[in-house]
Amino acid sequence: MDVELLIAIFPQVLLDGLILGFMYALIALGYTMVYGVLEFINFAHSEIFIFGAFVGVEILLGLRSAGILAGLHWLPVLVLVLLAGMAASALLAVSVERIAYRPLRGAPRLIPLISAIGVSFFLQDAIRLVESVWRNAFNLVYPTMDALNERYELTSTIDISMKSFVVIAAALLMLWGLHALVNRTKVGTSMRAVAEDQAAASLMGINVNRVISLTFLIGGAMGGAAGVLFGVQYGLINPYTGFIPGLKAFTAAVLGGIGNIPGAMIGGLVLGLLEAFAASYLSLLTGGAFGAEYKDIFAFSMLILILIFRPKGLLGEVVRERA
């Protein structure tokens, strides 16, 4: 085993893990907020996430084919794309709740979950259908912006690209904004009240349906932002790309304690780091017998272990069985 190599790649792996972790954290928020309010796994959130990425790539491709992408500064373009992706995903999340979940509120708890799985599958192919008709392709590549691809050497072995830096900064900003919204505003208070006790909240004059829509709106916006950042960071997207990151983000939410917003952030970071280290170190440590391809198994096994041994997660409280 090459100890020097292990140490040399450590900072780079740490950085990759952080980026992945912030991505998971942003997606996990959508799961955890909805779960906190409805005790329901919004299975379609992975598609709401990738939908944001598609809206982003469409805008960028549109700008490029109009010939103005190269002339623009990257920052306003990125802000525009992020906002558009967030708005689109938020809208999609709210519509999905309206159409497929709201009629099922109060049904046995597996019923809305099955509906959500259906929505997830439906959306995957719906995105594919639209892109196939529109572009005759559904594997899309994010147009590169040169300024974002510039790399800065921190030391001789580590460098960080501009886009990684931007992704981390944007994620931090978003998480801070959400935290402020939930804890410092009236809207946030009403959301927490509904999560605590729907009946009591409605007696206090809170419009529960509106708060639930709002929860989907905010969760969807975070997912959309994550989608755009995912596209900027990793480049290639297709309608099925969202599924595995979505599942892992759910793992992150469970890890942090589902229903708990800071928990989702921490869970996302922990999972991202663990996965990055598993991906780079497994093959080195086992002499090539097990490689990066086992990182998915690693994440899922962790999900299973947490659910069995500490279902309340790192920060969560015990979730009551709903009668």
Partner 1 sequence: MIRAGVAVGLVAASSVLVAVFPRSILAFLAFQASLLWVYTARVPSWLRGALLAVALLVLMPVIGHYNGYYLEVATQVGIFVALALGLNIVVGLAGLLDLGYVAFFAVGAYSWAIFGSPHANLIFGAGFPLDPAWFYLFLVVGLLVAAATGILLGLPVLRLRGDYLAIVTLGFGEVIRVLANNLDKPVNLTNGPKGITPIGRPPVPFDLPYAETFYFLVLVIVGVVIVVNRRLEDSHIGRAWEAIREDEVAAQAMGVPLVRSKLLAFACGASFAGVMGVVFSAKQVFINPESFTFLESIGVLAMVILGGMGSIPGAVLGATVVTVLNLQVLKGLSLWLNELKNAGVTILGFSLADLPTQLEPAKYERMVFGAILVVMMIFRPQGIFPARRRERELVGAGDEQPAPTGATAPVA
Q: Which residues bind partner 1 (CB under 8 A)?
A: 40-41, 100, 103-104, 107, 109-115, 117-126, 128-129, 132-133, 135-138, 243, 247, 250, 254, 289-291, 293-294, 296-297, 300-301, 303-304, 307-308, 311, 321
Shortest Cβ distance from residue 154 to partner 1 (Å)?
Answer: 34
Which residue, 104 or 162, is less far from partner 1 as judged by CB? Answer: 104
Q: How far is the CB of 56 from partner 1 (least distance, A)?
A: 21
Nearer to partner 1, 115 or 164 (CB): 115
CA distance 258 to 280: 28
Strand partners, 153: 159
CA 279 to chain centre: 20
As measured in angstroms, the least distance from the Cβ of 183 to partner 1 is: 27
Among residues 178 and 298, whose Cβ is nearest to partner 1?
298
Report, in Å, the least distance between residue 296 CB and partner 1: 5
Of residues 52 and 313, the one with the C-beta less far from partner 1: 313
To partner 1, the closest distance from the beta carbon of 131 in angstroms equals 8
Q: Given the complex with partner 1, which of 137 and 154 has the nearer CB atom?
A: 137
Instruction: Identify whether the C-beta of residue 275 lies closer than 8 Å to the C-beta of residue 298.
Output: yes
Distance of CA 67 to the CA centre of its chain: 31
Alpha helices in the chain (DSSP H): 3-38, 45-65, 74-96, 110-135, 146-149, 162-184, 186-196, 198-203, 208-234, 243-256, 261-285, 295-309
Environment class of 55 (CB within 10 Å of its CB; exposed 0-12, middle 13-18, buried 19+):
buried
